[in-house]
Chain A
C-alpha cells in the first residue's frame, strides 16, 4: 500500500503540452477541448510595452488534486467515487449514475463526462494503465522534458517526492477548503 502524490516544479514548465498528449494517448482520452484529465493553465503577459509584466506569464500544470478529503467522494450518492488502496481518488464507471454532483462539488474543475460510457472521468495517476502494468511513473511525468513532475509514495520517507517536500517550500491549491490535496506546487 502506498499513498501516492505528485510534486510539481511548475516554474520549469515550458507549456509544450507533451503531458496532455501523453495522458490522452496512454489513457485513451477522447479529443476535444473540454475532455481532459490534465491541463496547463496559462497566465498571459499583462501590461503595455515597454512595461510588460513578464512575471504574470507563468504556466501552471494542473489536474485532479487527489484530495485526502475529496468533496467529490463525499457527495457521490452511489459510492462510484472512492479512494483506492493507494489513496488515489477513482471512479467506478459501473456505479456512476451521471448525476454530475461531483463535477459541481470539485473545487478544481477536474472532472468531465467521458462520452463513450457517459460516466464521469478524471485523473487517477494512470492507475488503470501504467501502475496496473507495474510501472512506477505516470504518463505525464515520464514524458515531461523539463522534469516538472515528481510522482511517488508520500508514506515512503526515502522516495524522491518525500525528499523534495522535506527540502523545498511548496503550496497546495485552495488548501483553505480543507480538501488536503496531494498535489504540491514547489516554489
Chain B
C-alpha cells in the first residue's frame, strides 16, 4: 500500500477506493446502461484515434477550402464548457456568493474533466503535435491567436489542477488564490480562442469583436447546462435543500445570460444583413436558412429560457431535462460557427475544368471525426466516475 500512502500525502483519497470499488456499483438498469455507454464511447474514441494514426488527415472530410471541421468544433465545445464551469466554480469562493461555496470542489473537477477531452481532440486535429510543443517554445509566433490560446490553456490546466488539489487538502487560502489565477487565465484563453476566428480579415462573417464575447457568454451557458445535467444524475432529481437553492440561483443567472445572448444574436443578424455587404449579408441569410440554426435557437435558447421565465427559475427538474438537448444543440452550434466562418469561397474564380465553379463550400464530418469528437465524452464521464469514487467532492461551508 505504499503507493496509496504516497498519493494520500499529496491529496487525500477515500479509504475504500480500489478497483473493486470502481467495479462494485449497484447493478441497476440505469447504472448498467450508463456503464455500457461509457465503454462504448471510449471504444469509439479508440477506433477514431486508430484510424487517424493510420490515415492522418485523410480520415477527415476537411479540404483545401474547408480546412477546419468537427474536431475544431468539438475542441471548442469541451474547452468552452470547461471555461463556463471554471467561472461557475469561482462564483462561491472568488466572488463571495455563498450559495455556491459547497459546489466549488466538484465544479472545479468538472472543469478539469471537460478540458482534458478537449485536449485529446485537438491533438488529433493538429497535424504535428510534437513539433508544436517544440516550436511553440523555440519560435513562438506571438502575433498568432493560436499560440496565445494554446499557451493560456496550458496555464489554465495547471491552475485548475493545483486548485483542485489544494481544495482536496482543505487548504482554502491557496485554493482561492489559484482559483483566481485559473479564472483569469480561463477567460483569457477562451476569448482568445474566439479571436482565432475574429482576427480573420478574409472572413467578414467572423471578423470583429462578436465571436470572443459570444464565446464568453455561451461558455457560461454551456457550463450551467452541464451542472444541471451532472447534479440531476447525481441526486436522481431528488435535490437536497442546499443543492436546490444553488441550482435555482444558477437558473436565474442562466436566464439572464440567455437573454443577453439572444440580444447579441439579434443585433449581429441585423448588422450583418443591413447594407447587403457581400460575404457577410449573404452568408448570414444562408445561416438563418439552415435547420441547425433553428434547432440551436429552440433547444439551447428558447425552451430553457421559457422554463426559467415561467417558473422564475424554480423548475430545476424541467431544466435537467432541457439541459441534455441544450448541450447537444450547443455542440451543433459550435460546429455551425466553425462552418459558417469558412462557408464563403475565398477564390471566386477557380479552374472550372478541374472542379465546379465555387458556390458555397459544403462540409459534412466523416465517421472518424464523429467518433473522436463524440467518443471524447466517454473520457469525460469515466474520469468523473473515477474521481467521484476516489475523492471527497462535497465540501462543508467553512465561511
Q: Which residues of A contact B (CB under 8 A)?
A: 33-34, 39-44, 60, 62, 71, 74-80, 94-101, 103-109, 112-113, 118-119, 174, 177-179
Contact = CB atoms under 8 A, between A and B. Distances in A.
A97 B127 contact: yes
B136 interface: yes
Contacts of A174: 202
Contacts of A179: 201
Contacts of B64: 34, 103, 109, 112-113
B345 A76 contact: no
Given A75-B145, A105-B202, A98 B346 contact: no
A40 B125 CA distance: 31
Nearest to A32: B354
Nearest to A94: B131
Given A108-B346, A109-B345, A177-B201, A33 B141 contact: no
Interface core residue of A74, A101, A118, A119 (most chain B CB under 10 Å): A101
B150 A77 contact: yes
Contact of B57 (A39, A71, A94, A98): A98
A91 B144 CA distance: 15
Nearest to A102: B67
Contacts of B63: 34
Size category, B interface:
35 or more
B273 to A, nearest CB: 21
B144 A76 contact: yes
A44 B350 CA distance: 11
Contacts of A108: 346-347
Contact of A43 (B139, B140, B349): B349
B77 interface: no
A69 to B, nearest CB: 10
A34 B202 CA distance: 20
A100 B355 CA distance: 22
Given A95-B139, A106-B202, A109-B64, A75 B126 contact: no
A55 B5 CA distance: 82
Chain B contact surface mostly: loop
Interface string B339-356: 001100111111111110
A95 B147 CA distance: 13
B58 to A, nearest CB: 8
B68 interface: yes
Given A75-B143, A118-B57, 14 more contacts: A41-B347, A41-B351, A42-B352, A42-B353, A62-B347, A71-B201, A77-B150, A78-B136, A78-B141, A98-B128, A104-B200, A108-B346, A118-B56, A174-B202
Nearest to B125: A99
Interface of B: 56-57, 62-65, 67-68, 125-129, 131-132, 135-136, 139-141, 143-147, 150, 196, 199-203, 341-342, 345-355, 357
Chain A contact surface mostly: loop
Nearest to A95: B135
B57 A113 contact: yes
B303 to A, nearest CB: 33
Nearest to B352: A42
Contacts of B353: 42
A80 B135 contact: yes
A113 to B, nearest CB: 7
B201 A178 contact: yes
A38 to B, nearest CB: 11
A101 B341 CA distance: 12
B159 to A, nearest CB: 21
A113 B57 CA distance: 10
Contacts of B203: 104
Contacts of B128: 96-98, 118-119
Contact of B132 (A34, A44, A78): A78
A44 B357 contact: yes
B202 A107 contact: yes
Nearest 5 A/B pairs, CB to CB = A98-B127, A41-B349, A107-B202, A78-B135, A100-B67
Contacts of B146: 75, 77, 99, 101
A77 B65 CA distance: 20
Contact of A41 (B68, B132, B140, B350): B350
B346 A79 contact: no
A16 to B, nearest CB: 12
